């Protein structure tokens, strides 16, 4: 059975061009860029090329790019660096809907004696900018706000938030793991000091990430070791993956228009048709300020894991914010922060597309999902009640 | 992804006895939509007071649906006295086992059965409820204690897996630990009241238990076990038939064979598979 992969916010396939670019670096060009001999030393030039490709996608300068092992490492490095280099400041501002790489780190920092403000979001997953402004204090060391939410695709106004932070002399970090490659970014025109990327979310392999650090930002390394990355991140360079990420960034720039036209149209078609065909369904999150590839839909009175497993019978891959899939017995922290009612939160499904999805695939899902929801509702003790009450 | 048995998947994709029995003798609704799973269970008795018809409606994940479907199949033909003896272990076993984190689905099935029987007998709900310990999921001290006793739970995580208690905000962790400590202490006193067995008595009882309680269930699925040796509290068995080639046989040995032997023969027995 062919997989219909609509889970690209979880991970993506490595683009064929990316794989092709990487292969020589496993068996021919396997040298260590730090070596004195040409066999290794020639790798340095290749890495520079990849660094330039990444910088070009971000509107950054190549020496502002630090290669890391993943998005989580980048997030940890950014926040820890801001705290270490400003030892007098003990306050962090973030949001309630961050990825665990930021959320769990902040919980740990509370244990270490830091003060953390988690900004709430409204029912559409949006920040209140006035409240954000008020949260900043002279003691605030860093603001960390995600650019786009992994579950709902809702985009935060991070450029504006970064300007406000800069005006108060506060370091601004954004986890842009879901945004990079999907929406245009030009860091040279923003006040963002640090930004995290994960390779495998944009058709590069797993195990490679980037931390952008604006020139002039004080930086204290997270991984102490050799002189690699200009002493900002120890550890021998993951050359094949760095080359792969460079290529993936180049492709992302080329595909940016398709992402925002063709992929967006497929996403909208899927979303609008499912809403039309399935009663008591709704979209979670602000539909206007949203990634072009993501749709988070709740189907009332049914449970997400059951939906996923029934879709799995057809090879359809997606995610859910239900309790049974989170492993924590409670629905996703993002949907809870948005105040999505339990009747909806447990039945939420996230579809996330990529440029590799086709119209046929989307039509197949539109055909198969409504009967699945109907079947599960026929099992649900709440469904008849729901119809009578007419709740939506 | 959860590692569900084929039987769980089969009952999830083709659930038996969906709906509500007309004019039921027993009816119960447990769980809630806020908690993420809920079960409505109804049954009707025939003229011989055996369960003629049992139906369910479930809001929940695949294992919640499969557990409810299994429950309705299991209790058909039982008398009330027989149905009262059905445990969550029986439901899990019927499905070839459930992932540890999903055992609460089997507990929900047993709770629904118990509540429906109480309804049939006219026992007011309050008498079976107890005190709420976990506010997030509305779990009572009585439910927690029962899950600990029936499933020999030892840790807080296990209590959460079986009852959901403590799986939300975590404020009740201290209270659950207190119940766990108390019940474990009571359970450990109980075995010493059992007369100490001689080796011969122990082996005889193990053989009898395998023959009467264990073999019929395994044979039902085309499997079997053979007692090879008993060394102290180590019970060495060999798997036969479908069990010999079944990847889940280790789970069956631990979750079913060992539990039964501990319950019926000696609480410290450990079942091991013959490595020959």
A87 falls within a domain: yes
The answer to the question of residue A385 being in a domain is no
| Tokens encoding A26 | 């496993």
Residues of B in contact with A309 (CB under 8 A): 9, 12, 62
Distance from CA of A163 to the nearest CA of B (A): 36
- Our CA-based measurement puts residue B112 at a distance from the nearest CA of chain A, in whole angstroms, of 13
Shared domain check, A286 and A191: no
- Could you tell me how far CA A166 lies from the centroid of its own chain? 24
Averaged pLDDT, A175-181: 97
At A306 the pLDDT is 95
Same domain for A298 and A212: no
Give the rounded distance of the alpha carbon of B50 from its chain centre.
Answer: 22
- Distance (Å, rounded) from C-alpha B189 to C-alpha B181? 12
pLDDT tens by residue, B223-232: 888 898 888 8
Same domain, A213 and A311: no
CB spacing of A303 vs B60 below 8 angstroms = yes
Q: How confident is the model at residue B45, as a pLDDT?
A: 96
Substitution target from A299, A324, A325 for chain B, most B beta carbons within 10 A: A324
The answer to whether A330 contacts chain B (CB < 8 Å) is yes
Note whether A119 and A222 are same-domain residues.
yes
A19-26 average pLDDT score: 98
- Count of the separate structural domains present in chain A: 2
The domain of A272 spans 4-10+256-377
Evaluate if residue A179 carries a pLDDT over 90.
Answer: yes
Closest alpha carbon to B109 in B135, B83, B130, B129: B83
CB B33 to CB A346 under 8 A?
yes
Would you call B105 a catalytic residue per the annotation?
Answer: yes
- Global pTM reads 0.83
pLDDT at position B247 over 80 = no
Active site residue B172: no
Which residue, among B110, B147, B130, B119, has the nearest Cα to B43 in the 3D structure?
B119
Q: Mean of the pLDDT values across residues B39-66?
A: 95
Among A328, A343, A379, beta carbon nearest to B167:
A328
Residue B188: the pLDDT is: 81
Query: Minimal Cα distance from A301: which residue of B?
Result: B59
> With 80 as the cut, is the pLDDT of residue B275 above it?
no
Q: Taking CA atoms, what residue in A is nearest to B34?
A: A342
The Cα–Cα gap between A267 and A280 comes to: 19
Check pLDDT > 90 for residue B35.
no
Q: What is the pLDDT of residue A392?
A: 38
CATH code, A175: 3.40.640.10
Say if the Cβ atoms of B58 and A305 lie within 8 Å. no
Cα dihedral sign for A2, A148, A258, A239?
A: negative
Instruction: Identify which of A159, A371, A349, A178 has the alpha carbon closest to the alpha carbon of residue A277.
Output: A371
Using 50, 70 and 90 to split pLDDT, how confident is the model at B71? very high
Q: How distant is the Cα of B74 from the closest Cα of chain A, in angstroms? A: 19
Question: What tens digit of pLDDT does each residue of A107-136 get?
Answer: 999 999 999 999 999 999 999 999 999 999
Report chain A's C-alpha Rg in angstroms: 22
Over residues A151-180, the mean pLDDT reads 98
In a domain, residue A387? The reply is no
**CB-nearest partner of B36 from A301, A324, A382:** A324
Residue B34 token pair: 């806020």
For the record, the structure tokens of B175 come out as 């209270």
Provide the pLDDT for residue B276. 61
Element (H, E) at A340: none
User: pLDDT averaged over chain A?
Assistant: 95
A390 and chain B in contact, CB less than 8 A: no
Residue in chain B closest to A333 (alpha carbons) equals: B168
Q: Which of B183, B176, B181, B100 is nearest to B135 (CA)?
A: B176
Give the whole-angstrom CA distance, residue A204 versus residue A164. 33
Q: Per-residue pLDDT for B246 more than 80? A: no
Q: Do A329 and B12 touch (CB under 8 A)?
A: no
pLDDT at B218: 85
Cα(B153)–Cα(B156) distance, integer angstroms: 8
Q: How far apart are CA A45 and CA B70, in angstroms?
A: 64
Q: Which of B17, B60, B66 to mutate to test the interface with A (most CBs of A within 10 A)?
A: B60
Q: Would the pLDDT of B44 be above 90?
A: yes
- Among residues 285-324 of chain A, which lie with CB inside 8 Å of chain B? 301-306, 309-310, 313, 322-324
- For the segment A199-210, the average pLDDT, to the nearest whole number, is 98
Contacts of B13 in chain A (CB under 8 A): 310, 313
Tell the residue number behind the tokens 């550890």, with chain if given. Answer: A235
Q: Which residue of A has its CA nearest to B1?
A: A325
Does any domain span residue A341?
Answer: yes
Q: What is the pLDDT of residue A1?
A: 84
Residue A254, both tokens: 């080329």
pLDDT tens, residue by residue, A78-92: 999 999 999 999 999
- Using a pLDDT cut of 70, give the percent of chain B over it: 96
Residues A288-337 have pLDDT tens digits of 999 999 999 999 999 999 999 999 999 999 999 887 666 667 889 999 99
Measure CB to CB from residue A381 to each of B13, B40, B137 and give the nearest one.
B40
**How big is the A-B interface in CB pairs under 8 Å?**
70
Residue A195 and residue A58 share a domain: yes
ipTM value for the complex? 0.87
Pick the CATH number of B199-273 from 1.10.3720.10, 3.30.450.30, 3.30.300.130, 3.50.50.60: 3.30.300.130
Q: Which of B35, B134, B172, B243 is catalytic?
A: B35
Confidence class of residue A391 from pLDDT cuts 50, 70 and 90?
A: very low
Count of residues making up chain B: 276
Nearest CA-CA partner of A362 in A373, A347, A351, A372: A351
B59–A309: do the CB atoms touch at under 8 Å?
no
Q: Which of B105, B134, B172, B243 is catalytic?
A: B105
Q: Which residues of B are less than 8 Å from A322 in CB distance?
A: 36, 61
Q: In which order are the strands placed within the sheet that holds A294-299? A: A281-283, A294-299, A348-352, A319-320
Would you say residue A386 has pLDDT above 90?
A: no
Residues A238 and A285 in one domain: no
What pairing do the DSSP bridges indicate for beta strands B223-231 and B234-241? antiparallel
Burial category of A38 from C-beta neighbours within 10 Å (exposed 0-12, middle 13-18, buried 19 and up): exposed
pLDDT class of A214 with cuts at 50, 70, 90 = very high
Tokens, residue B226:
């053979």
Which residue is closest to A379 within chain B, CA to CA? B57
Would you say the C-alpha torsion B262, B265, B266, B271 has a positive or negative sign?
negative
| C-alpha span between B42 and B22 (Å, rounded) | 9
Q: Is the domain B130-193 a CATH 1.10.10.1100 member? A: yes
Q: Is residue A190 one of the residues assigned to a domain?
A: yes
The predicted structure's pLDDT at residue B167:
86
Q: In this predicted structure, what is the pLDDT of residue A390?
A: 41
Mean pLDDT of A257-268: 95
* Residues B109-132 pLDDT 10s: 999 999 999 999 998 766 557 888
- Interhelix angle B62-75/B103-121, rounded to 10 degrees, is 40
What pLDDT, on the 0 to 100 scale, is given for residue A389? Answer: 42
8 Å CB contact between A89 and A141: yes
Chain B residue at shortest CA distance from A331? B36
Query: Beta-carbon neighbour count of residue B181 at 10 Å?
Result: 10
Q: How many CA atoms within 13 Å lie on the side-chain side of A62? A: 10
B interface test, pick of A329, A342, A377 with most B CB neighbours within 10 Å: A329
Short-list B172, B32, B36, CA closest to A331: B36
Q: Mark yes or no for CB contact B12/A343 under 8 Å.
A: no
**A282: pLDDT confidence band, cut at 50, 70 and 90?**
very high
For chain B, the structural domain boundaries read: 6-126, 130-193, 199-273
Among chain A residues, the shortest Cα distance to B9 is held by: A309
Residue B137: its pLDDT value, please?
Answer: 85
What confidence score (pLDDT) does residue A361 get? 98
Q: Which residues of B touch A330 (CB under 8 A)?
A: 36, 136, 167-168
Residues of A in contact with B103 (CB under 8 A): none
The percentage of residues in chain A with a pLDDT greater than 70, rounded to a whole number, is 97
Instruction: Write down the pLDDT at residue A387.
Output: 54
Check: CATH 3.40.190.10 for B6-126?
A: no
Domain containing residue A370: CATH number: 3.90.1150.10
Domain contains A391: no
Whether the CB-CB separation of A219 and A85 falls below 8 Å is answered with yes
A295, A153 Cβ separation under 8 angstroms: yes
The single residue of A106, A249, A324, A389 carrying the catalytic annotation is A324
- Residue A388: pLDDT band by 50, 70, 90 thresholds? very low
State whether residue B134 sits within 8 Å of chain A by CB. no
For residue range B185-198, what is the model confidence (pLDDT) as tens digits?
A: 888 876 555 567 78
Cα-based distances in Å from A266 to A152, A272, A290, A355, A357: 16, 10, 14, 10, 8
Q: How far is the alpha carbon of B8 from chain A, nearest alpha carbon, in Å?
A: 12
């Amino acid at each position: 059975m062919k997989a219909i992969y609509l889970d690209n916010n979880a991970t993506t396939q490595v683009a064929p061009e990316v794989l092709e670019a990487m292969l020589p670096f496993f068996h021919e060009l396997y040298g260590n860029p730090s070596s004195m001999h040409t066999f290794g030393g020639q790798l340095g030039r290749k890495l520079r090329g990849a660094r330039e490709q990444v910088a070009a996608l971000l509107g950054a300068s190549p020496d502002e790019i630090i290669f890391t092992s993943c998005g989580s490492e980048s997030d940890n490095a950014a926040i820890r660096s801001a705290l270490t280099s400003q030892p007098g400041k003990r306050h962090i501002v973030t949001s309630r809907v961050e990825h665990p790489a930021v959320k769990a780190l902040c919980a740990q920092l509370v244990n270490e004696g830091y003060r953390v403000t988690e900004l709430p979001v409204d029912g559409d997953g949006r920040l209140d900018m006035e409240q954000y402004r008020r949260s900043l204090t002279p003691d605030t060391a860093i603001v960390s706000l995600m650019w786009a939410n992994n579950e709902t695709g809702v985009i935060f106004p991070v450029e504006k938030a970064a300007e406000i932070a800069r005006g108060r002399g506060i370091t601004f970090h954004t986890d842009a793991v879901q945004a990079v490659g999907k929406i245009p970014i030009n860091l040279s025109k923003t006040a963002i000091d640090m930004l995290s990327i994960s390779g495998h979310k944009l058709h590069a392999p797993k195990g490679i990430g980037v931390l952008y650090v604006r020139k002039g930002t004080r930086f204290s390394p997270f991984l102490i070791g050799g002189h690699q990355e200009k002493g900002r991140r120890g550890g021998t360079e993951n050359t094949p993956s760095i080359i792969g990420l460079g290529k993936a960034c180049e492709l992302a720039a080329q595909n940016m228009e398709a992402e925002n036209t063709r992929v967006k149209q497929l996403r909208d078609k899927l979303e609008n048709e499912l809403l039309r065909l399935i009663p008591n369904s709704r979209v979670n999150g602000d539909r206007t300020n949203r990634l072009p590839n993501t749709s988070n839909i709740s189907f009332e009175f049914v449970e997400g894991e059951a939906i996923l497993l029934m879709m799995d019978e057809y090879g359809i891959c997606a995610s859910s914010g239900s309790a049974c899939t989170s492993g924590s017995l409670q629905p996703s922290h993002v949907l809870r922060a948005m105040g999505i009612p339990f009747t909806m939160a447990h039945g939420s499904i996230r579809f996330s597309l990529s440029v590799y999805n086709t119209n046929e695939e989307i039509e197949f899902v539109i055909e198969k999902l409504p009967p699945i929801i109907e079947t599960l509702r026929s099992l649900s003790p709440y469904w008849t009640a729901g119809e009578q009450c007419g709740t939506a | 992804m959860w590692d569900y048995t084929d039987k769980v998947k089969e009952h999830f994709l083709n659930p038996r006895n969906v709906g509500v029995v007309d004019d039921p003798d027993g009816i119960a609704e447990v769980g809630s939509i806020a908690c993420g799973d809920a079960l409505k269970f109804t049954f009707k008795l025939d003229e011989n007071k055996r369960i003629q018809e049992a139906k369910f409606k479930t809001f929940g994940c695949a294992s919640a649906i499969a557990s409810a479907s299994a429950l309705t199949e299991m209790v058909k033909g039982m008398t009330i006295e027989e149905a009262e003896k059905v445990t969550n272990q029986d439901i899990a076993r019927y499905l070839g086992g459930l992932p540890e984190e999903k055992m609460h689905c089997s507990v929900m099935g047993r709770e629904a059965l118990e509540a429906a029987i109480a309804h049939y007998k006219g026992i007011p709900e309050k008498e079976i409820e107890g005190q709420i310990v976990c506010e997030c999921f509305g779990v009572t001290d009585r439910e927690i204690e029962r899950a600990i006793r029936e499933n020999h739970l030892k840790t807080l995580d296990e209590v959460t897996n079986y009852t959901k208690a403590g799986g939300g905000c975590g404020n009740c962790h201290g209270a659950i630990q207190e119940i766990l400590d108390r019940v474990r202490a009571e359970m450990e006193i109980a075995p010493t009241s059992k007369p100490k067995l001689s080796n011969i008595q122990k082996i005889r009882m193990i053989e009898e238990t395998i023959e009467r309680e264990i073999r019929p269930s395994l044979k039902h699925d085309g499997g079997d076990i053979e007692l090879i040796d008993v060394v102290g509290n180590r019970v060495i068995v060999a798997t036969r038939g479908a069990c010999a080639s079944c990847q889940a046989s280790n789970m069956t040995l631990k979750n079913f064979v060992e539990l039964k032997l501990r319950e019926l023969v000696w609480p410290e027995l450990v079942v091991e598979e013959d490595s020959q």
